[in-house]
Structure 1
């Protein structure tokens, strides 16, 4: 008659290594820190872009950034603004926009001219 096999301990391959939980949390913290740094940098660049474009504008308005679900694009919109720029400054605005794109590496959309209804006071 054969003896029943003794229960075996789980192999070392199924056990997490010592400190695995701490390493996991450190990775998660690192991911979160990089995400926050990226967001802060994007906001800093947006403020720079806004300040430089305002110099050319007669009037300006900052609008709520649109959600990616509305824009249909993956990148998160950081700055949504409209600037009232005189016709004779249009070339200056186009040049500034190109310069800012090259200097910052961010996507900047320039569109218009549009009807300046955003700048009309309340009636």
Structure 2
């Protein structure tokens, strides 16, 4: 369960960094961004908000809380779904290489959490 928690914490930290970078730099952060200023800022705020449940699930997993599984499930769903939405908004594509990576990471986290019970 600790490994799953560490992965969740890493996701929360890295997504928080990405959301902050998007807020600071706007559409100019990457040449591939096709969204306008307002869409980028709203997406960045959404990313930052999505970090909270991922962070909470990571802490729950590390401390061995019985709520780690349902929180991890919710966090993984948020991570995958919002990652898909953010890719579509920011880049005009669901970017399969990113979305499928997110799905694989979420599956690994859920598998690790399921093995801990």
| Structure with greater strand share of residues | 1
Larger-Rg structure: 1
TM-score (structure 2 length as normaliser) = 0.32
Greater relative contact order (Cα < 8 A, sep 6+): 2
| Structure with greater helix share of residues | 2
TM-score (structure 1 length as normaliser) = 0.31
